[in-house]
Chains A and B, each alone.
Chain A
Amino acid sequence: DSGVTQTPKHLITATGQRVTLRCSPRSGDLSVYWYQQSLDQGLQFLIQYYNGEERAKGNILERFSAQQFPDLHSELNLSSLELGDSALYFCASSVVSRGNNEQFFGPGTRLTVL
């Protein structure tokens, strides 16, 4: 158990819909990262927040957005869903923001778009 929790574990929805994925970081971790894992693209970095502020962006679509709340939990919002958005979405957390630091991954949310 990494200490990072993600809900829900599974999500099935239809094209065009909007969903919210939730992540609670390890106690004491200020950084939260979101990753997408699909068969064709592998594990890809989406976005990072540090203590409530956006710190880095990766290949995140404009239809996707995230935020980190004062209690440090984070939400990833996916809208106008397409079939290709079906993937595993992982949240990770770490103590420090930059440099070599260990990221602890949650168990992921499996999103299926029908």
Chain B
Amino acid sequence: TQLLEQSPQFLSIQEGENLTVYCNSSSVFSSLQWYRQEPGEGPVLLVTVVTGGEVKKLKRLTFQFGDARKDSSLHITAAQPGDTGLYLCALDSWGKLQFGAGTQVVVTP
């Protein structure tokens, strides 16, 4: 059983559309990280959310941490083909990262 459940598993959209991916757990987190992994590469950290209710923006990406610190979402506005990749949420457990299964996002021109 995954500690972190990500949904959807796969998302295919057209350039210019918006999308949201989710990361949920039955446990409370002290913080949560979001990574993007492109084909043939390792994951790259996008953001760390720490405070319940926190919203962080990274250009067209908006990250939200739930008030109860059990869930998080990533919203992409006006998606571009360069946003294509595997989006992973992860918990940092004393240096060990525990990842969700990821959401594969494909943005077609």
| Interface size class of chain B, counting residues whose CB lies under 8 Å from the partner chain | 20 to 34
Q: Which residues of B contact A18 (CB under 8 A)?
A: none
| Interface size class of chain A, counting residues whose CB lies under 8 Å from the partner chain | 20 to 34
Q: Once bound together, how far apart are the Cα atoms of A62 and B96, in whole Å? A: 19
Q: Which of A43, A56, A96, A102 has the most CB of B within 10 A?
A: A43
Q: Which residues of B contact A45 (CB under 8 A)?
A: 96-98
The distance from the CB of A5 to the nearest CB of chain B, in whole angstroms, is 11
Q: Which of B20-28, B36-44, B77-85 contacts A (4 or more CB under 8 A)?
A: B36-44
Some 26 contacts from A to B, beta carbons below 8 A apart, are: A33-B95, A42-B2, A42-B100, A43-B97, A43-B99, A44-B99, A45-B97, A45-B98, A48-B95, A55-B95, A56-B96, A90-B43, A96-B95, A97-B95, A98-B94, A98-B95, A99-B92, A99-B94, A101-B92, A101-B95, A103-B97, A105-B43, A105-B44, A107-B42, A108-B40, A108-B41
